[in-house]
Structure 1
Amino acid sequence: MSYKVIVDSCGELTDEMKASGNFETASLTMEVGGVRIIDDATFDQADFLRRVADCPESPKSSCPSPEDYMEKYRCEAERVYAVTLTAELSGSYNSAVLAKNLYIEEYGEKNIHVFNSCSASVGETLIALKVQACEEAGMTFEQVVETVERYIEGQHTYFVLENLDTLRKNGRLTGIKSLVAGALNIKPVMAATPEGTICQIGQARGIKKALSKMVDHIVEETQGAEEKILAISNCNCRERALEVQKLLLGKMKVKASFIVDMAGISSMYGNDGGIIVVV
């Protein structure tokens, strides 16, 4: 039974995923300083970060259209899964669901399921990998959907960023009261809520202390770690990601672990120096 997993471009695909032929990216687009940048294989992180630094206005993003998703649903694969950014912060999920309904209306029934990641970045990557594991275990379409939805409920996303400007200016931090001014070099430790919104779980003075505090939270809150994959995404700070990975693996045993470089949308919100951890 052939299958395909479509991941919106906030989710980074590993080299193995790209090589497998079972994964495809639905690109979001970004706009910075009047220039439109497509978040696909041509994305140049260094150039993008330079443009953001030079531009007084905050960059903006737009999600794939229903037509973009429909185009990807039209394929040989008998089972199609889409994994999107949390529906609380992006229109990507709604776009993918609308595309599914339009597709079925136009072409008839097909096994298509859209997963709301309630996360972003490597959270989406891990969900896509879970779909692959379920498919390769020979599960039925319904079993894959049920198992992966349950996996999403148990997944946790954490992040520490050098600055939260893009998230704040684009209205992604509504309801967070206690964010402190950057003058004191206070770095908040952030996480995703079960519903997929952003919350603050701590803060520390300086990025190193904030990362250390994040590590402590992860170790404390992760249950059944030995059955889980630990994934870390970084924006132009691989050494920092390696350090976080080392700290975590020194305190908990996991099934596997990997690090990826942030793609376009993650880079836009994560900003230079940002770290996202999902387990």
Structure 2
Amino acid sequence: MEYRIVVDSCGELTDEMKKSGIYKTASLSMEVDGVHIQDDESFDQADFLKRVAESSECPKSSCPSPEKYMELYHCEAERVYAVTLSAELSGSHNSAELGRKLYEEEYGRKQIHVFNSRSASVGESLIALKIQECEEKGMEFEEVIASVDRYIEEQHTYFVLENLDTLRKNGRLTGLKSLAVSALNIKPVMGANPEGQICQLGQGRGMKKALAKMAEQIAADAINPTEKILAISHCNCPERAMAVEKLIREKINVKESFIVDTAGISSMYANDGGIIVVL
């Protein structure tokens, strides 16, 4: 294998990505009422959501250690790329960079590059797929980095959640003006700004209207959609995800699209019923 792509576990891998052998996951972990849950193949979404629903405390997450990243960089691949959660939202990016320095101290120089996704969930997955596409075109290491950086600049992340409690309690909504009152069943349409911070893009009365608003926003923001993959991750609501995919594809033509279940970290922040869309 000439190259390896390391994605932290907030980025969901499709079955095809898992089977390719190119991808490795740097697992984050979560804690609910003192119970430690690893965000890896052992993650049980139904059990996790039940624990969160029954807990009076807010779940917490921990990023992979620099040593973990260093281990993942230590392989026969000549080029290693890492894709992490937005540096504005998690310490995972910093950890991946420290892991790169540790690797160089321990083993010497190697072509390793860490991408700040400025996104999360399937935003990371799409960036990883872009790296693979560039590598398969035979691009040089520096060309891959430049091409993927351009792709990140054009990428947009959107989400509509049933509730924003976890994001709010864990301090991920800093800088936002007060959000609409849940008693009115107002659902904010959220997104990421160019720096990778969470921002509000709009709102709708009830989930259906908020999702329709989000689809309109996606269509309005789309840059060269026919060259892009539309990715959707959902937390325990596959029918809702399929309805959103249909809504968006009726408005714009995309190269292809896929839907995945949220892994652990995305499930923790999206909560039951949450939808995340990236184009």
- Structure 1 vs Structure 2 CA RMSD: 0.7
Name the counterpart of 1:66.
Answer: 66
Shift of the alpha carbon at 1:107? 0.9
1:213 equivalent to 2:192? Answer: no
Stretches (4+) displaced over 6 A? none
Name the counterpart of 1:261.
Answer: 261
Alpha-carbon distance between aligned partners in 1 of 2:192 and 2:262, rounded to the nearest angstrom: 18
Alpha-carbon distance between aligned partners in 1 of 2:143 and 2:101, rounded to the nearest angstrom: 21
Q: State how many pairs are aligned.
A: 279
What letter is aligned with 2:14? T
SS of the equivalent of 1:253 reads: coil
Matches within 5 A, 1:74-113: 74-113=74-113
SS of the equivalent of 1:249 reads: helix
Output the TM-score relative to the length of structure 1: 0.99
SS of the equivalent of 1:190 reads: strand
Farther off after superposition, 8-17 or 104-113 = 104-113
Quote the sequence identity (%).
72
1:231 equivalent to 2:225? Answer: no
What letter is aligned with 2:15? D
Alpha-carbon distance between aligned partners in 2 of 1:103 and 1:25, rounded to the nearest angstrom: 17
What letter is aligned with 1:69? Y
1:27 equivalent to 2:53? Answer: no
SS of the equivalent of 2:64 reads: coil
Name the counterpart of 1:139.
Answer: 139
Alpha-carbon distance between aligned partners in 2 of 1:138 and 1:242, rounded to the nearest angstrom: 35
1:165-202: per-residue Cα shift (whole Å, max 9, x none)?
00000000011113012111110000000100000011
1:40-93: per-residue Cα shift (whole Å, max 9, x none)?
000000000000000000000000000010010111111000000000000000
Shift of the alpha carbon at 1:102? 1.4
Name the counterpart of 1:51.
Answer: 51
Name the counterpart of 1:180.
Answer: 180
Shift of the alpha carbon at 1:105? 1.6
SS of the equivalent of 2:223 reads: coil
Alpha-carbon distance between aligned partners in 2 of 1:201 and 1:127, rounded to the nearest angstrom: 23
Matches within 5 A, 1:129-208: 129-208=129-208
Alpha-carbon distance between aligned partners in 1 of 2:221 and 2:115, rounded to the nearest angstrom: 24
Output the TM-score relative to the length of structure 2: 0.99
Shift of the alpha carbon at 1:204? 1.0
What letter is aligned with 2:237? C
SS of the equivalent of 1:58 reads: coil
Alpha-carbon distance between aligned partners in 2 of 1:214 and 1:184, rounded to the nearest angstrom: 19
What stretches of structure 2 of length at least 5 have no aligned partner?
Answer: none
Name the counterpart of 2:10.
Answer: 10
SS of the equivalent of 2:96 reads: helix
Shift of the alpha carbon at 1:215? 0.4
SS of the equivalent of 2:232 reads: strand
Alpha-carbon distance between aligned partners in 2 of 1:137 and 1:32, rounded to the nearest angstrom: 44
Alpha-carbon distance between aligned partners in 1 of 2:58 and 2:31, rounded to the nearest angstrom: 9
What stretches of structure 1 of length at least 5 have no aligned partner?
Answer: none
Question: Is contact 2:93-2:116 (8 Å) kept?
Answer: yes
1:188-222: per-residue Cα shift (whole Å, max 9, x none)?
00000010000001111100000000000000111
1:207-255: per-residue Cα shift (whole Å, max 9, x none)?
0000000000000111211111100000000000000000111111000
